[in-house]
Structures are given as structure tokens and as C-alpha cells.
Structure 1
Amino acid sequence: MSCPMHGAADARPEEIVHTEGAQLDFSRSMSYGDYLQLDQILTAQKPLSPAHDELLFIVQHQTSELWMKLMLHELGAAKTLIAQDQLQPAFKMLARVSKIMEQLVHAWDVLATMTPPEYSAMRPYLGQSSGFQSYQYRCIEFAMGNKNAAMLKPHAHHAERAAQVQAAFTSPSLYDESLRLLARRGLPVPASHTERDWTQPYEASEQVEQAWLAVYRDPQQHWDLYQLGEELADLEDAFRLWRFRHVTTVERIIGFKRGTGGTGGVSYLRKMLDVVLFPEIWRLRTAL
């Protein structure tokens, strides 16, 4: 979809009217702005402070939420396809999620242009609102396997969001579905890791590592499972970069102050860097 004003900046008015026969009257048909609901999107930024930089802060987080909406769309579909043994389309979706995470990593570069005094000018107006409370981010964490029942509570005040987070919490993660697939293919994944309480944090298993090692030691025989393992590695690699860039941006802007949502700020975010989502995918590399 091209920008309606593209190429028109230097044209005379009479030339614009005849530009390649383009339609210019949208009084009776859907326009670009109509299709994208731009009136709603572009009026959703409502700064609460007089600070010039608050618009940057709002746009950064709103666009991140839009990307996260797409991530959840792709992760949910990929999980379903893996459960149905349809790996090729799932690979495309997982690769797309990794690319979205790259976009989110670079988005921190824009927010990092905000200096500590600029953030301090708007911080009092934020109240206790914090990215820590993002229900979409929590659903992504749960879909990726980082289950923590305490993280349900911040969403309990909103019934619809709480239901979405609860559904993600009680469902098998992307990695759970991947291990169930390995078991269906005859690889020695223990029942403790294919039929378990999905709300519990994942625990690494030597038997699961051996199952993945069988795949990686004979990729020709298990090519699609081998590719799945590498898609998972790509995904976690991108997720780690996203988390790391989050930590460095927060430290750059607020140092070691507590977060607006009551977390330890940088100290909390650094702990999250130690979370490994697909442990056997990483451990097997030492054994190869």
C-alpha cells in the first residue's frame, strides 16, 4: 500500500490531478486512513504532562504493544500448527516473530534518546503505570514458557485481560508443544515433559536433552525437527537481545531507581536475563 502523497511534493497542482490515473476522490470508497483506522490510532496519544518528550514515551510503548499483538497472533498459530505436525508454515511464523523482536530491539534505540532530566519531567504523571503491567507481554512470556503464577495478579482488576493471561498461563507453551512433537516422532521425551501441569515452570531434563541430541546428531533423518530446534534458538536469541536492550535503556534513563510499577527497576530486569526458555536447545551444543 503506497503513501497517498508519495511523489507529489514537487508536483504542480495540475500534475497531481493526473498522476498516473490515481484515484483522488475517496468520498464514496474506503481510503488508506479508513482501512488503517488512523483517526483512532493517531488520536490515542494523550500526554498527561507538559513535557515535550512524553509523546516519544507514549508512541514507543503503543507501537511496541502493536508489535506484541502480532507476535501473539503468530506464536498462537505456530503452536497450533506444531501440535498438528505442520512444521513448514510454523517455521515461517516463528521466523517472523524473531524479526518482530529485532524491530523491538531497535525501538529501544529511539527511546534511549530520552535523557534522565527529560524522563524526570514526565515521570510524576505516570502514577504506578509500568510496562511490567503489559498483559500482552505477559502472554508472550507464558507462551514462551516462563510461567509464574504471581504474574497473574497485576491483571486481576480487568476481567477480559485477566482471562487472556489466564488462558496463556494454563496452556502448553511453544516448547511444550515442540517436545510433544518429538515424542510423537518416537524420540525419548519422558511423559513428565509431555503430560504435565502446564502452569508450572519448565524444568530441564537430561532425557529431553538426549532426545534433542538424537535430532542434532542426525539432521538428515530429522531435518524438520532439526530446523525446529534452530528456529527456537533464533527465537530465544532475539528475545534475549530484546530483554538486554530493555535493561540498558532503563539504566541509561533512570539508573537504579525503582520502577513506577513498584519493581526494582534495573535489578528486576537483570534477573530476567538469567531466564532460559529452551534450556536443552542450548545445553546440547556443549555435548555435540
Structure 2
Amino acid sequence: MTEDPERDGARMSFKGRMAYGDYLGLGDLLTSQHPLSDAHDEMLFIIQHQTSELWMKLAIHELGAARAAIIAGDLQPAFKMLARVSRIMDQLTGAWDVLRTMTPSEYTQFRHILGESSGFQSHQYRMIEFVAGNRNLAMIRPHEHRPADAKALWDEALRPSLYDSVLGQLRAAGFDVPARDRLDQPHQPDPAARAAWLAVYRDPVRHWSLYDLAEKLVDFEDYFRRWRFNHVTTVERIIGFKRGSGGTSGVDYLRRMLDVVLFPDLWEVRTEL
């Protein structure tokens, strides 16, 4: 017998009611892909980057909420949010596997129509870095043609970062860790912070919440690094060592970015344990 969901209680008519597509705005979402060529793989390229931007939007949402919770000393919800961000980074990493099904021959069919657009110009990617604490003010310049995006990055650069909020929790626990004078600069290794983390890691039972918080940040950065690494290998596989469409040196530039560390104290303390 053919299944009729209505007999199971499913609503089948939605005139005047909110349906799935209405709630999600699918009319706008699924019509926002506008290939500029006849190349089959351009649709893959567009959707790959659009979905990545959606995941980044969620990551920014979670990181901001985690920071607010940490500042308030409400660490348990922050743990859940940071764990979710790590899973988002895992999703972003896996998405490169789909893009890698596109060969160099297929990409060259439409690369020329990208002009100077590049993932380098993603203001949401930059926002994730700024929230975490990797703040390079020169990176705001590519967004100056969109004043709202540039202002959001400037505003973020002047706020305590996610890691600044974590250092605040070290101070609240009695550790002598100075606040930074220049919030608009990237985090540099801090001997006082490293000494505090060393004490936390040597006695995790006594400092369990701080210990767990530190590991949540390391998880986040671990997955963030995997995402960046997969980006490098995907770019090299598809365009080799050509210059990036946005003008960077391409793979060479991306490889240098792999050396950027978001939370240097948490990585350096491992050598001392």
C-alpha cells in the first residue's frame, strides 16, 4: 500500500501556515547561487564557499557567546559552546574533500571570471581570528569598501579577545597574570601566563575548570589548524603554485599562515610539563 503521511497525522496543506522552507528562508538561500560561466564545477565552487560562510557565521555566534559566558564566570555553558566551535571547524575541514574533487582542468574553465575575489577577503574568517586574539590590523584594509564589515573588525580589535577573557579567569583564580596593554595586537607568548598554565596542568584536579577551559581552547585551535592545512593542500592540488586570485603568493602565503598560533601559552606550556 502506498504510504500517505496524512494518515499518520502529518499536515499536508500549508496555505497560510509556516512551512519548512518559509522558516529557513530557502527561497532566498537556494536562489543565491549565480554562476558567471557555463562551467559545470562553478556551482560546486560557489556552494562550497557559501556553506563555509554559513558555518563561520555560526562559529562567530558561538565564540561571542562563549566569551560573554567566560567573562561572567559561567564556564559550563562556555565549554559546550567551544566544543561546538571545534565541531564546526571539523565540518569546514571536511568540506575541502568535496572541493578537491574538482581538477585543475575543471577550475581553469572558470577561474578567470573570479576577478580579484578570494577567500583571503572573507571578513568572517578574519572575525574568527580577531575574536580568538590573532589581530593584524592590516587585514582590515581589504574590507574598507564595505564600511559595516570594516567597522565590525575595528570594534572587535578594541575588545578583549576570547583569550583575554580566559586570562581574566586566571586572575580571578589568584594567578598573577597582567592584562594586555594593546588589545589590537596578536597574542604573544607571556611568561606569566605560561607559569599560571603550568600550575594548572600540574594540578588539574585542583584547577579542573581552568584545566578544562584550556583544553577546550586547544581543541578549537587544533581543528582550526586542520582547516587551514586542508585549505593549503586543496589549493596546491588545484592550482599548484600560481598566485592567488586576490594577489597573494598562493600556496606560499597559506603555508606561512600555518605558523600563526592563536594561543601560544597553551602550546608552549606542554614542553615544560
Please give the TM-score of this superposition, normalised by the length of structure 1.
Answer: 0.93
- Residue deviations 1:81-136, cap 9 Å, x none? 11111100000000000000000000000000000011100101101111000010
Of 154, 169, 187 in structure 1, the residue corresponding to residue 157 of structure 2 is 169
Q: Please point out which of 77, 80, 91 is paired with 1:89.
A: 77
Note the aligned Cα RMSD (angstroms).
1.1
Task: Supply the distance in 1 between the matched residues of 2:180 and 2:226 (Cα, whole angstroms).
Answer: 31
Find the counterpart in structure 1 of residue 239 from structure 2. 254
Offset at 1:19? 4.1
Name stretches of at least 5 consecutive residues in structure 1 with no aligned partner. 1-10
**Which of 266, 269, 272 matches 1:284?**
269
Shift of 1:40: 0.2
SS in 2 for 1:121: coil
CA distance in 2, matches of 1:272, 1:210: 27
Q: Which amino acid aligns with 1:120?
A: T
Q: How many residues align?
A: 273
Tell me what 1:30 maps to.
Answer: 18
Does residue 57 (structure 1) correspond to residue 45 (structure 2)? The answer is: yes
Q: Of residues 195, 199, 203 in structure 2, which corresponds to 1:218?
A: 203
| Residue 184 of structure 2: aligned partner | 199
Say which SS state the counterpart of residue 223 (structure 2) adopts.
Answer: helix
Shift of 1:17: 5.6
- Give secondary structure in 1 for the equivalent of 2:66: helix
Work out which of the residue numbers 126, 134, 147 in structure 1 matches 2:114.
126
Instruction: Provide the rounded CA distance (Å) in 2 between the counterparts of 1:17 and 1:103.
Output: 33
What runs of 5+ residues in structure 2 fail to find an aligned partner? none
Contact kept in structure 1, 2:187 and 2:264, CA below 8 Å: no
Q: What stretches of structure 1 move > 3 A for 4+ residues in a row?
A: none
Match of 2:32 among 44, 52, 65: 44
> What amino acid is aligned across from residue 252 of structure 2 in structure 1?
S
Q: Is the 8 A contact 1:139 1:169 kept in 2?
A: no
| Native 8 Å contact 2:6 2:12 kept in 1 | no
TM-score (norm. length: structure 2): 0.98
Match of 1:78 in 2: 66
